[in-house]
Amino acid sequence: MSATATRTAAPDQTTTSTATARPDPRDRAVRIGAWCAVVVVGLLLATLTAVVGTGDRSSDTPLDPSSTTGSGSRAIVRVLGQQGVDVAVVSDADRVTTDDAAADSTVLVDDSAGVLAPSVARRIARTAPDVVLVTTDPGVLEAFRVDARPAGGSSETTVASTTSCGIPAARAAGSVTTGGVTYATDDPDLLRCVPTGSGEDRRWGLLRADTAAGRVTVVGTTDAFRNDTVTRAGNAALALGLLGSHDDLLWYVPTAGSADAAPTLGDLAPPWVPSAIGLLGVVAVAAACWRGRRLGPLVVERLPVVVRAAETTEGRARLAARVRDRTHTLDTLRVAAVLRIGKALGLPRSAHVDAVVRRAAAVTRRPVGEVGAVLVGGPTGDDRALVAGAAALDELEDAVGRAVSGDVRRASRTDVPTDRTDRGSTSRTPQRNGPPAPPAEPPPTAPTPTTDPRPGGRS
């Protein structure tokens, strides 16, 4: 009979699956249009990002000699030009190291971006006699033989006195602001100016050291070169004294990616690494599209067999028995018992287990601790404790059921003798445990006589 039912249901199942699997052309068009819209929006966003990213960023570059913004240095360049100083902005170290005019010029090495290679810095230290250095790279400081290390930025707007400084340009300025970068050093031979902090936290904003060709002045107080702070205190006097000591000024700004820049991680990697990374990216995108694509609409299919819900419970029970997890097994029984008892007592499903324990104890007239030990309990050590706990749960659930149905005396007392005899039944004493006695069977009755329905029939 089962085989017949299966064969009969097969055509309906095939018809349902075929009808469900057939896609709707309108839904497909909607999906394609949505994906096209997403792609178009993505391309527009990418284009806008590229356009904005390739815009003019010169105004955001710190100490840019051609920028008129607050972080630029256009003001000090104009003042130097008015005083007869020829300012030349270069980005090639060869102009600094091989040009004959460099011997009679001041060289400003603006390495604010920290891209200058230490080897190029050593070349400049060997050829340029007067160097003004702006950098936060310890390698560049070491290349110029400056025993100092960057100690972080200084955002203070205080004014420091420089009247006792050993650098003539700073001493002539009298005072400068301390905004910029500070340096920490233990070299007593360095000339140090513009102090900040005290004690072991003492930092300096202006240093001077000797090089193979002459001297180098490390400027951390870059407020003296900025357009928005050059007029404060003696910043302008300090900038003009450091940069205007010669008739020519070579403003050297190394750029990233040039021959003077330090090699990056991409430069040190083998040539095939970018291609391999690109290929891996394409493979990742293809794998995402392959694994993430829709295989089609869902198809509802009737199972040819009936799976009993009890098989899940039996399977979990076998797993618990195999690993001897008695505590988890008894806790599962306790949770189910709490839900059933709470439902029998009229409590909501979200009621706390303490409320169920108190209500069950009040109904069955038992101590709260005894009911709590049955419904909550603790770890189960052996099989005997597991069986005893399960039996206690059954007994408590039966007691709650009898109490709710109105038989409170039987639920609360174990043995209640009675002499009452019902009519048509024998006297019996109810017991707390065990099934109730079967009802008395009625006495046999004589069979009812039948009569032959034919004419003249006998009974």
- For the segment 31-57, what is each residue's pLDDT rounded down to a tens digit? 788 888 888 888 888 887 776 655 544
SS3 3: helix
Q: Residue 2: pLDDT band by 50, 70, 90 thresholds?
A: very low
Does residue 358 register a pLDDT over 90? yes
157 or 330, greater pLDDT? 330
Mean pLDDT along residues 213-223: 89
Question: Rounded CA gap, 251 and 240, in Å?
Answer: 14
- Give the domains, in start order, of the chain with CATH numbers: 74-252 (3.40.50), 312-412 (no CATH)
- For the segment 189-207, what is each residue's pLDDT rounded down to a tens digit? 889 998 888 877 888 989 9
pLDDT in the model for residue 208: 92
Mean pLDDT along residues 117-136: 89
Asked if residue 51 lies in contact with residue 45, where contact means CB atoms within 8 angstroms, the answer is no
What would the two tokens of residue 2 be? 């089962």
Which amino acid, residue 273? V
Tell me which residue has tokens 């290349």: 143
258 or 443, greater pLDDT? 258
- For the segment 405-445, what is each residue's pLDDT rounded down to a tens digit? 875 444 444 444 444 434 343 334 344 444 444 444 454 44
Cβ contacts of 268 within 8 Å, gap of 6 or more: none
How many residues does the structure list for the chain?
459
Mean pLDDT along residues 226-252: 89
Query: What angle, rounded to 10 degrees, do the helices at 383-405 and 353-364 form?
Result: 60
358 or 155, greater pLDDT? 358
Please spell the DSSP secondary structure of 8-50, one letter per residue: HHHHHHHHHHHHHHS--HHHHHHHHHHHHHHHHHHHHHHHHHH
pLDDT in the model for residue 310: 82
Q: What percentage of the chain exceeds 90 in pLDDT?
A: 17
427 or 257, greater pLDDT? 257
Question: What pairs with residue 154 in β-bridges?
Answer: 180
Q: Residue 186: pLDDT band by 50, 70, 90 thresholds?
A: confident
